[in-house]
Amino acid sequence: MDEWVPLQATTLKENVTNLLRQSIIDGTIPSGEELNQAQIAERLGISRGPVREALGQLEQEGLIRSVPYKGVIVTPLTPTYVRELYSLRSALETFALREGMARGDLDDVQSLTRIVDSMRKAAKKGDSRELARLDLRFHSLIIHMARHNLLERTWTPLKIGVQRCLHTRHSIYGSLDEVVGNHPELLDAIVRGDVEGASALLHQHILDAGDKLCEVWLDAGEPSEAVLP
């Protein structure tokens, strides 16, 4: 948190919320760390009110939680959480993909194509942050393809957890080309209109990504509920 600077007095709650959220997502504030209202307010040069409001918002988003006798801590990423998140992702995204492909919106396919092209370029440049952004954008667009309002509202809070996992997962690959992975194959299946093939590729892509994250604990010999680095 040393790189934080005092914020302007406008839209303080939004500024603090965005700063803390992004710091948790990208790992600047690690899993399990305690967040102290007074310390955060002092570092940012503001009163405690906006910090308290920001922490309330982040708790609703599942990024932090209150622990008796410990205070407010950043919610840990655990194997159980990752497996639950990625199995739910698979169910939601494959449903959305089937619905979207049935609609056959060419603009959606063109948007997916542009994203995959940008992912390849980001991987070549070694830009992991941009690649994580594009990865999330690709999967968010698959959700949007369904034009299903309740599905999109369900996806919104899950997306924050996915962002955290993407930042962690991308850091454990030997090459960013591995992050691009089978996105091009998935896109090809979508372009061909191969619903079964695309659904199978998407399902396997998501489950493999979750398994890759969970391998961190196994390789480290950690207990099943250890916190990801």
- Integer CA distances (angstroms), 114 to 85, 118, 176, 180, 183, in order: 27, 6, 18, 13, 12
pLDDT-based confidence at residue 33 (cuts at 50, 70, 90): very high
For every residue of 165-218, DSSP letters joined together read HHHHHHTT-S-THHHHTTHHHHHHHHHHT-HHHHHHHHHHHHHHHHHHHHHHHH
**CB-based contact 205:186 (threshold 8 Å):** yes
**CB-based contact 20:35 (threshold 8 Å):** yes
Residue 101 lies in a domain: yes
Structure tokens at 31: 């899993």
Which residues 6+ apart lie within 8 Å of 128 measured at CB?
122, 170, 171, 176, 179
State the chain's mean pLDDT as an integer.
Answer: 89
With 90 as the cut, is the pLDDT of residue 226 above it? Answer: no
Type and span of the H or E element at 109: helix 106-125
- Per-residue pLDDT of 153-190, as tens digits, reads 999 989 999 999 888 776 677 788 888 989 999 999 99
192 and 143 share one domain? yes
Q: What is the CATH number of the domain that holds 16?
A: 1.10.10.10
- Residues 179, 119: Cα–Cα separation, whole Å: 9
With 80 as the cut, is the pLDDT of residue 217 above it? Answer: no
Number of domains in the chain: 2
215 and 149 share one domain? yes
**Residue with token string 């739910």:** 88
**CB-based contact 75:34 (threshold 8 Å):** no
- Residues 53, 46: Cα–Cα separation, whole Å: 13
109 and 215 share one domain? yes
With 70 as the cut, is the pLDDT of residue 2 above it? Answer: no
Percentage of residues in the chain having pLDDT higher than 90: 69
Q: Which of 29, 49, 74 is the last residue of a domain?
A: 74
| Domain interval for residue 62 | 12-74
With 50 as the cut, is the pLDDT of residue 223 above it? Answer: no
- Residues 73, 161: Cα–Cα separation, whole Å: 16
105 and 166 share one domain? yes
- Per-residue pLDDT of 80-93, as tens digits, reads 999 999 999 999 99
Q: In what order do the strands lie in the sheet with 64-67?
A: 34-35, 71-74, 64-67
With 70 as the cut, is the pLDDT of residue 220 above it? Answer: no
107 and 191 share one domain? yes
- Per-residue pLDDT of 3-15, as tens digits, reads 676 655 457 889 9
Q: Left, alpha or beta for 142 (phi > 0: left; psi -120 to 50: alpha)?
A: alpha
Of 10, 157, 7, which Cα lies nearest the Cα of 20?
7
Q: Which of 57, 74, 91 is the last residue of a domain?
A: 74
Percentage of residues in the chain having pLDDT higher than 70: 89
Residue 225 lies in a domain: no
**CB-based contact 158:85 (threshold 8 Å):** yes
58 and 96 share one domain? no
